[in-house]
Chains A and B, each alone.
Chain A
């Protein structure tokens, strides 16, 4: 392989026009060589070892278009030190189809969340087989919010909204958590003693709901129980938050369901969390939301709804 790289470099060097002191132009030329339609698969494979990461990433991006023949190289690419080489390889595996599912599965276990996110993207183009669905659902439970959101969207695209059930705005219990001990003390537990919790309304900032919290910034928890109608479990169910200022972590019936944590800029962003399989249809459910706010107003200030999804035709 090393010999082939050297030959490729030499070939590229031959087309270099002149010396350019402001950049290491040979890398540029090597990359341009990959982009030629006539570039052999072997050159792409070899370029994965290029000392320049952008060259290697370009190769990883281009390889899936070569089909199943490129699978061995892509397997190598998924072991590359550079996370973006791995991600570029992973996110385009959908071009190969089910034959690449094994590599997708591997990529979904990558240590880097962006590679796992890329692997979820690869599933977009694949047929919705049970295996693919299973991988998407697993990704929806990934520890990373980035991966969760990617999986949610893939799921979302395959379904239509059948029904939306808005949770009441009032009757929520509330407690501030200035020392951030709630998670450790499991304030999401279903049988928690709420005697020292306040009662508060959502769909407004906590400072507007109660003067006592007008100046509060930091962690705080919301809890509520709600009834859901009797029905067969839907294909998918999601919790839709109009906006939480600024970050949110959600538990349903004591189980962690997902998070929305993109920093202060998330304060006005709608988001969804997949709760398929966590809800009790025809009975009582319990929701807990841990909120973190670092500046100005905070809280669940827009509506919360349970969205029932059914497969699109």
Chain B
């Protein structure tokens, strides 16, 4: 049926616009059930049977299909709904177990083949009151066939519900309506539609009264019973005491609502106080005649309704109505009831409900915990572990490429699903990360490929980022995404161009030559080879002392290439800028793996956060090196920060490889299965011990990180000034997640992560993200020149000799800051007292000069035998090849660390030290307060992978004494208590028993915490904002000079926590929180409970919220 939308100009209610747009839709009009059916409504092809019980032949099936009735205990009477006859039935058991029914002979067409509709008018007699279930129609009895419509027993006086039982052959299913009033002497029209595919819907007097879809059900099964109206097929009989009129069975799903609302807006879930677009509804007149004088009413439970007087609406026409959903209401699930009412002769009232949700805003400085991967239906499980973000959306690159301009990020068909997914994330209190790699996608565009000197594209080639078209495309992708999703609060972040630099090569378009000339005034040197430079042994003019001029052409070229020349960093920036053009304020971008590049600034472009993934084996503390590299990389941009990812997966080959043929199988096809190892393993028939998971999944290629490794890596990275943490490998974290090769082999890892989130990330995260890095006086140089000319570099992998040197420094209780040549060239080495130089074969002249000055000032250089001959080290640690056995490797590094300490300690005073190399300290500072982290690295081989000798996966407890070169008061932020200390002469010692792989953070303040004070108003009113101030006070009464973790809970009189209840970091010992009381908040006495999580002190206050 053709329908169109007309323009309404009137503003019919304050603040509410109505308008219409032209368009066409197919509208199924409502059945004229308030009239006696005739014509096509009585005899149309879709009508299976129709009984109107009128004289002279009340038993006749008026559809013409011959399903005439015979009476058994019921009777035909006058007083029908339309002035004619009706069927009268009676109660049965327990009054008398006799039939009171009209019966139609069983017939195949009384069992509809697919969708169908059953309807009738009913008018109860007084005898219905107090009676139990009453059968209105039954062709099923106790079989799993056909249908059975029952009026349920009373749920309240004169209140019942309808129940439809359908038989599908092997089983039956029940659909129930909402409750409705069934009063003696009052006619009610009831109808049930079934779509033949599991969805059943009830109507009462034209209003939807419940609808449910049962997945997996189709058509009903034909049965052997006759059709009975007014009673049950057999004993125990339960007749309907009252009148029944105009009973019709029809094929198809028919419409009964005289008007229908449809919510056009895709959004259903909102963040509190969100400036959301008004909800857009259409109201369609489904009647066969115009609807005039009608009223629309929108009401939220408990709230004042919005009422609109509607103008005349023609049959089949639609109108658009905007409803401004009030997101200032308190966080909750809401039901918005939309009602259309029509008075007069054709009076009706039709209501529909729409579920809406308001979620609380996040507290300030919440630390993100990102699952780098799709949620795969595991969103709630991830949320329960403590994750705040997951990757869950993207865009249609081809669509944007073809548009050559910002456009909707996905096509119309996909958009509602994407919005719904964001809504669901918001409902789950999570945020969605978009994974956007338009540059990678553009690799498929051959005309934009990177080319070699001969003009040929490289094998496994890459896109040339210097093409304007590629740059603008990346910006278009960012803008498109932000225009499409940017206002949605759950659109939280975007991962930009993950893992793209590996395919990059020097490129030789004319514009590449020109760009290099423009940037440097030089031509691209002839000797340029791959991205990782040219061995100095191949270069004729290479200086013998391996000191190159700063303008050495190859050095200049490679620096340019990595920083800007291959275009990737600018491509990241383009996407980032596009995203921020329209995204909401809290949105952020990140790039990874940001340090899988040479050691020059610029990786990631302008993204908000740099990240990098790290495998924890063989030594979890090694993750600190990549974290420090990220911090150095980000230091080039003051606004850029760092997050750090740990891989949940472990390469089988690096942790528990199988020998010989079995190793081959590990890279072959595998059977997808999960394992839930119980206990330990066993010795197999060959005499080898094998872990349980090895026996159950011998072909596993990626396994789950051991929980203690996860713990130690967590503490190592969170000790550093990072702003969020990430994990990748959901298939190895959660059971039941199908992934190509990630296997769930350790069930305790997820529980460990949950514990860490519960006890550290949530309570302490808001504090830790506000505590900056401390002053560092040890530098760890990663030399770009040595990477380009001597093949050095960690490239973010933490491996190579530099990785071992890093471990040695850790075991020597040093806290080095990674520096690049650039940072030395720009900032010098002021403030550093020790410079560690692993693999620094080649250095630029300016850096050598700085190092000479550094040494002249008393700085100590720690080098190796590969160190550039122009530098004379004060301490030399000879390189070694790391043994594959994890225990030997660790022992070797500790031995060198102890030797280093012996030489270094007379010349260098640490800010913090440990009595054992097994416990590694790290200090950050805020004001006069230090935050001392310590991680226990003492480990042994376990039974999970340890029997292979490559990884010691189990921790051991350790007693250690931490020493700090200051005085003060020490608080255990995990245990929330003050700690006794020893020592004198300006230093303190903290004896501590560390659990296996355990970390700890101590807050060391100048003055003791003595009190927690709350300043809050005595009274407040719903709808008002209320500011609560919290101060953590020192013994002198002043706020303490620290960022102190604090838990604040604002509880209503029912004990429900209000929005913004949660964990905070009280900067400078002070906190100010503005609570926006909602109009529908509960009045009465509210309580404010505060606990500072350093010493555990608590305080409380009360606020009287007015209102009834």
A84 sits at the interface (CB 8 A): yes
Q: Are B541 and A312 in contact (CB under 8 A)?
A: yes
Q: Report chain A residues within 8 Å CB of B865.
A: 114, 117, 146
B791 near A124 (CB under 8 angstroms)? no
Q: Are A54 and B543 in contact (CB under 8 A)?
A: no
Sort chain B's interface into a size bin: 35 or more
Selected from A54, A156, A157, the residue in CB contact (under 8 A) with B875 is A54
When C-beta atoms are compared, the residue in chain B nearest to A19 turns out to be B985
Contact between B903 and A121, CB atoms less than 8 A apart: no
Contact of A156 among B537, B878, B905, B965 (CB under 8 A): B537
Contact of A23 among B537, B858, B876, B909 (CB under 8 A): B909
Q: Which of B538, B542, B907 is in CB contact (< 8 Å) with A157?
A: B542
* Chain B 949-979 near chain A by CB (<8 Å), digits 1 or 0: 0000000000000010100000000000000
Q: Which residue of A lies closest to B664 (CB)?
A: A215
Contacts of A203-232 to chain B: CB distance below 8 A: 215
Q: How far in angstroms is the closest Cβ of chain A from B879?
A: 8
Given A21-B987, A265-B800, A272-B537 in contact, is the A84-B873 Cβ separation under 8 Å? yes
Is A154 a contact of B544 with CB atoms below 8 Å?
yes
Q: Within residues 26 to 74 of chain B, which ones have a CB less than 8 A from any CB in chain A?
A: none
Query: What is the bound-complex CA distance between A264 and B884, given in angstroms?
Result: 11
For residue B653, give the distance in angstroms from its CB to the closest CB of chain A: 9
Cα separation A53 to B873 with both chains bound (whole Å): 12
**Closest chain B residue, CB of each to CB of A309:** B540
Chain B residues numbered 120-161 whose CB sits less than 8 Å from any CB in chain A: none
Whole-angstrom CA separation of A54 from B860 in the bound complex? 9
The reply to whether B537 and A270 contact each other, CB–CB distance below 8 Å, is yes
CA distance A209 to B150 in the complex (A): 81
Mostly helix, strand, loop or mixed at chain A's interface? helix
Q: A268: CB under 8 A from chain B?
A: yes
State the Cβ distance, B121 to closest chain A Cβ, in Å.
83
Residues of chain A within 8 A of B875, CB atoms compared = 54, 57, 84
CA distance A20 to B906 in the complex (A): 11
- Rounded to whole Å, the gap between the CB of B543 and the closest CB of chain A is 6
- Contact of A22 with B965 in the complex, beta carbons under 8 Å: yes
Residues of the B chain whose Cβ atoms lie less than 8 Å from the Cβ of A240: 537-538
Asked if A31 is an interface residue, CB under 8 A from chain B, the answer is yes
Q: Which of A166-216 contact B (CB under 8 A)?
A: 215
Question: Are A35 and B541 closer than 8 Å at their CB atoms?
Answer: no
| Binary interface encoding of chain B residues 567-602 relative to chain A, with 1 for a CB under 8 A from any of its CBs, else 0 | 000000000000000000000000000000000000
Contact-residue size bin, chain A (C-beta under 8 Å from the other chain): 35 or more
Partner of A20, one of B538, B542, B857, B909: B909
A residues 19-61 touching B (CB-CB < 8 Å): 19-28, 31-32, 35, 52-54, 57-58, 61
Interface string of B864-892 (1 = CB under 8 A from A): 01000100111110111100100000000
Partner of A265, one of B801, B872, B874, B884: B801
**CB of A158 closer than 8 Å to a CB of B:** yes
In the assembled complex, B443 has its CB within 8 A of some CB on chain A: no
Q: What 1/0 flags go to B643-663 for Cβ under 8 Å of A?
A: 000000000000000001000
* C-alpha gap A124/B856 in the complex (Å): 23
Would A23 and B538 be within 8 Å (CB), given that A58-B874, A84-B876, A117-B865 are in contact?
A: no
Q: Which of B546, B860, B908 contacts A153 (CB 8 A)?
A: B546
Whether A23 lies near B541 (C-beta < 8 A) is no
Q: Which of B856, B869, B879, B985 has the most CB of A within 10 A?
A: B869
- Asked if B268 is an interface residue, CB under 8 A from chain A, the answer is no
One of A66-74, A87-95, A97-105 at the interface: A87-95
- Specify which chain A residues have a CB less than 8 angstroms from the CB of B878 in the assembled complex: 114
List, in ascending order, chain A residues with CB within 8 A of B791's CB.
268-270
B906 touching A52, Cβ below 8 Å: yes
Once the chains bind, are B874 and A54 in contact (CB under 8 Å)? yes
Of B540, B546, B880, B904, which is within 8 A of A160 by CB?
B540
**Distance between Cα atoms of A181 and B856 in the complex (Å):** 52
Known: A21-B987, A23-B908, A156-B537. A35 touches B857 (CB 8 A): yes
Chain A residue numbers with a CB within 8 Å of B543 are 157
**B residues 828-872 with Cβ under 8 Å of A?**
855-858, 860, 865, 869, 872
- The interface residues of chain A lying within 8 Å CB-to-CB of B873 are 84, 88
B893-906 vs A: 1/0 string, CB under 8 Å?
A: 00000000001111
> Is B399 located at the chain interface by the 8 A CB criterion?
no
Interface positions, chain B 742-781, Cβ under 8 Å from A, are none
Q: Is the CB of B876 within 8 A of A32?
A: no
Q: CA A57 – CA B963 in complex, angstroms? A: 29
B874 touches A264 (CB 8 A): no
List chain A residues, Cβ under 8 A from B908.
23, 28
0/1 per residue, A138-157, Cβ < 8 Å to B? 00000000100010111011
Mask, A257-269, CB within 8 Å of B = 1, is: 0000011110011
B1076 contacts the other chain (CB 8 A):
no
Q: Would you call B271 an interface residue if the criterion is a C-beta within 8 Å of the partner chain's C-beta atoms?
A: no
Contact B872 A91 (CB under 8 A): yes
A28 to B858, CA, bound (A): 9
* B residues near A146, Cβ cutoff 8 Å: 865
B535 within 8 A of A: yes
Please give, as numbers and ranges, the residues of chain B lying within 8 Å of A58 by CB-CB distance.
Answer: 874
Say how far B965's CB is from chain A's closest CB, in angstroms. 6
**Alpha-carbon distance between A81 and B858 when the two chains are bound, in angstroms:** 23
Q: Is the CB of A124 within 8 A of B544?
A: yes
Are the CB atoms of B987 and A22 closer together than 8 Å? Answer: yes
Give chain B nearest CB distance to A122 CB in angstroms: 9
- B313-356 vs A, CB cutoff 8 Å, 1 = contact: the mask equals 00000000000000000000000000000000000000000000
Is A88 in contact with B872, judged by CB distance below 8 angstroms? yes
Q: Is B1007 an interface residue (CB 8 A)?
A: no
Q: How far is the CA of A234 from the CA of B545 in the complex (A)?
A: 24
Partner of B963, one of A22, A270, A271: A22
Q: Given the complex of chains A and B, what is the CA–CA distance between A57 and B538 in angstroms?
A: 34
Given contacts A31-B907, A32-B858, A154-B544, contact A264 B881 (CB under 8 A): yes
Indicate which residue in A53, A263, A265 contacts B903 across the interface (CB closer than 8 Å).
A53
B176 an interface residue at 8 Å Cβ cutoff? Answer: no
Nearest CB on A from B615, distance (A): 17
What 1/0 mask marks residues of chain B from 484 to 523 whose CB sits below 8 Å from any chain A CB?
A: 0000000000000000000000000000000000000000
* Contact in complex: B905, A24 (CB < 8 Å): yes
Contacts of A272 in B (CB 8 A): 537
Indicate if the CB atoms of A35 and B913 lie closer than 8 Å: no
Instruction: Flag whether B225 is at the interface (Cβ < 8 A).
Output: no
Checking B541, B546, B872 against A92 with a beta-carbon cut-off of 8 angstroms, the contacting residue is: B872
Given contacts A35-B856, A35-B857, A92-B872, contact A121 B906 (CB under 8 A): no
Q: Which residues of A contact B963 (CB under 8 A)?
A: 22
Give every chain B residue within 8 A of A24 (Cβ-Cβ): 905-906
Report yes or no: B535 in contact with A270, Cβ–Cβ below 8 A.
yes
* Residues of chain B contacted by A84 (CB below 8 angstroms): 873, 875-876
- Contact between B546 and A28, CB atoms less than 8 A apart: no
Q: Chain B 1033-1060, CB within 8 Å of chain A: the 1/0 string? A: 0000000000000000000000000000
Q: How far is the CB of A216 from chain B (nearest CB, A)?
A: 12
Q: Contacts of A154 on B, CB cut-off 8 Å?
A: 544
A37 to B56, CA, bound (A): 130
In the docked arrangement, what's the CA distance between A87 and B867, Å? 13
Contacts of A61 in B (CB 8 A): 855, 872, 874
List 30 interface pairs A-B (beta carbons < 8 Å), by A numbering: A20-B965, A22-B910, A22-B963, A22-B987, A23-B905, A23-B908, A26-B906, A27-B906, A28-B906, A35-B858, A54-B860, A54-B874, A88-B872, A91-B869, A92-B872, A117-B865, A124-B545, A125-B545, A153-B536, A153-B537, A153-B546, A157-B543, A161-B540, A240-B537, A262-B879, A263-B881, A265-B801, A265-B881, A270-B538, A272-B537
Q: Which residues of A contact B (CB under 8 A)?
A: 19-28, 31-32, 35, 52-54, 57-58, 61, 84, 87-88, 91-92, 114, 117, 121, 124-125, 146, 150, 152-154, 156-161, 215, 240, 262-265, 268-272, 295, 312
Closest 10 CB pairs of A and B: A263-B881, A157-B544, A27-B906, A121-B869, A160-B540, A24-B906, A270-B535, A28-B907, A61-B872, A124-B544
